[in-house]
């Protein structure tokens, strides 16, 4: 008898402690300027999608919460594909994507009766990296990269690519199959030829492991997002890639990515906004805020800003609520090319 009541009493004490803890936490981080009028805008905004876009969305949320403290923005990053799954299941208002929507995902949205507004927010570049002591690779062409990465008969030694290069085994480090980066690399390198990337690469979801791997072996090569390279410049060397359209090699610098010269390895990051959600004042306000601050914020978290005119086209589309995708044509085929070329009114299919 006493045992049970004692257990109960102790349980209650614990519960009280927990409740007290929450009491003092609720209005903690409201560090807004007391002079600025606090907005009374309130409500929920749900964001999910690419883990690559997540840092941008988190940073936007952080700034937005200072201006609109009552709005509850929840940002998750379960991946581009999972994000679109939830988006077409009407679970989220906004979906982040590190690649344009796929025809199948567009179909799912249509079936669920979801109209969306497609908005590019920033650039991410994919960097090919080698060991800093590697002095034989000066630049790589797409054909050479295909020799290295594509197919089960891909080369085993550096000398197989160019006879003047050392006769040493290649070590390859790449992001995991589930990542948008792997998807993107696969799309650029192998999709048109209906080929697959080689299977004997060291794959890892954690980009830090890739950095360590390439930095630890003179005869290694790898690829990942440009933001990671920027942080590890001292340990790695980026490879200039020959742009197929003008046969010149370009390094993945901010300027080259923004001008579209670093092709084909720069990709747009986008957000997709559910058009029905725009009736909610808080979603509308956040979406506008997102675009207005996208360039500055994405630079702060390590990405590259889009050309101003692309951002302005996005703002115009949002204002006019022009729904539909620019990346899937009327026949249901994906378009590819630079954002500035694709993200134009003529390509929009509702």
Partner 1 sequence: MSSIPLPAALQRDDHVAMEQKANRRKRMSRWFSILCVIIAFLSVVVLVVLLVSISIQGSSRLSTDLLSNAHSELHPEQAGMWPAIVGTLFVCGVCALGSLPLGIGTAVFLEEFRPRKLELRWLRHRFPDQSKTWDKLASGLYKSIRGFHSFIQLNISNLAGVPSIVYGLLGLSLFVYMFNVFGQIKVNEASGWEIAGAQHYYQVLSLESGQVVLIPQTDRTQSTLTVESPTTGVTPDGKTYEVGVWEPGSPKPTDPSVRRRTVRKGAKGGVFTDRAWYYFRLPFDRSFLAAGLTLALVILPVVIIASQEALRAVPPSMREASLGLGATTWQTTRDVCLPAAIPGIMTGAILSMGRAIGEAAPLLVIMGAAIAKSTGPQHLMDDAVTMPVLIYNWAGRQQAVYQELAAAAIIVLLIVLLLMNSVAIYLRERLSHV
274 binds partner 1 (CB under 8 A): yes
Q: Which residues of 252-281 are buried (b: 16+ CB within 10 A; e: fewer)?
A: bbbebbbebbbbbbbbbbbbbbbbebbeee
Which of the residues 91 through 120 are near partner 1 (CB under 8 A)?
91-93
SS3 assignment, position 300? helix
- CB atoms under 10 Å from CB of 5, counted, come to 9
Which of the residues 189 through 228 are near partner 1 (CB under 8 A)?
205-208, 227-228
Length of the chain equals 350
Q: Please, are residues 74 and 65 in contact by the beta-carbon 8 Å criterion? A: no
Give the dihedral sign, CA 87/297/286/311: negative
Selected range binding partner 1 among 134-142, 152-160, 300-308, 316-324, rule: CB under 8 A: 300-308
292 binds partner 1 (CB under 8 A): no
Give the one residue of 150, 182, 254, 283 binding partner 1; rule: CB under 8 A: 283
Which of the residues 240 through 269 are near partner 1 (CB under 8 A)?
none
CA-based nearest residue to 201, from 180, 182, 215: 182
277 binds partner 1 (CB under 8 A): yes
CA-based nearest residue to 301, from 225, 209, 238: 225
Give the one residue of 108, 251, 301, 340 binding partner 1; rule: CB under 8 A: 301
Site string for partner 1, 52-81 (x = CB under 8 A): --xx-xxx-xxx-x-xx---xxxxxxx---
Which of the residues 155 through 194 are near partner 1 (CB under 8 A)?
none
Number of residues that bind partner 1 (CB under 8 A): 71
Site string for partner 1, 1-20 (x = CB under 8 A): xxxx-xx--x---xx--x--
Give the one residue of 232, 243, 266, 295 binding partner 1; rule: CB under 8 A: 232
Which CA distances in Å does 329 have to 101, 287, 289?
11, 25, 29
Give the one residue of 143, 162, 200, 231 binding partner 1; rule: CB under 8 A: 231
Angle at the Cα of 132 from the Cα atoms of 128 and 133, rounded to 5 degrees:
125
220 vs 232 by CB, closer to partner 1:
232
48 vs 145 by CB, closer to partner 1:
48
Q: Please, are residues 107 and 269 in contact by the beta-carbon 8 Å criterion? A: no
98 vs 282 by CB, closer to partner 1:
282
Q: Which residue, chain included where needed, has tokens 């200039």?
A: 240
Min dist. Cβ of residue 74 to partner 1 (A):
6
């Amino acid at each position: 008898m006493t045992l049970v009541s004692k257990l109960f009493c102790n349980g209650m004490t614990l519960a009280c402690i927990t409740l007290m803890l929450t009491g003092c936490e609720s209005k903690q981080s409201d560090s807004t300027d007391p002079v600025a009028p606090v907005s009374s805008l309130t409500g929920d905004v749900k964001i999910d999608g690419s883990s690559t876009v997540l840092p941008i969305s988190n940073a936007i949320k952080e700034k937005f919460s200072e201006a609109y403290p009552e709005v509850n923005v929840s940002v998750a990053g379960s991946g581009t594909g999972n994000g679109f799954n939830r988006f077409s299941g009407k679970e989220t208002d906004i979906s982040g994507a590190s690649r344009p929507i796929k025809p199948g995902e567009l179909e799912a949205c249509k079936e669920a009766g979801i109209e969306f507004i497609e908005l590019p927010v920033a650039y991410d570049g994919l960097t090919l990296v080698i060991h800093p002591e590697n002095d034989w690779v000066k630049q790589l062409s797409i054909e050479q990269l295909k020799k290295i990465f594509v197919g089960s008969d891909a080369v085993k030694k550096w000398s197989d690519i160019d006879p003047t290069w050392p006769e040493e085994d290649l070590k390859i480090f790449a992001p995991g199959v589930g990542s948008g980066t792997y998807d993107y690399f696969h799309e650029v390198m192998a999709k048109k030829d209906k080929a697959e990337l080689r299977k004997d690469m060291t794959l890892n979801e954690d980009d830090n492991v890739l950095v360590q791997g390439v930095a630890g072996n003179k005869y290694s090569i790898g690829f990942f997002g440009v933001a990671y390279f920027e942080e590890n410049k001292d340990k790695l060397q980026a490879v200039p890639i020959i742009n197929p359209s003008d046969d010149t090699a370009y390094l993945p610098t901010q300027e080259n990515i923004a001008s579209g010269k670093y092709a084909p390895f720069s990709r747009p990051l986008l957000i997709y906004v559910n058009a029905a959600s725009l009736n909610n004042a808080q979603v509308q306000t956040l979406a506008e805020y997102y675009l207005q601050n996208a360039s500055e914020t994405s630079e702060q978290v390590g990405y590259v800003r889009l050309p101003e005119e692309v951002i302005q086209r996005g703002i115009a589309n949002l204002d006019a609520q022009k729904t539909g995708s620019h990346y899937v044509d009327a026949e249901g085929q994906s378009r590819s090319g630079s954002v500035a070329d694709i993200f134009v009114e003529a390509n929009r299919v509702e």
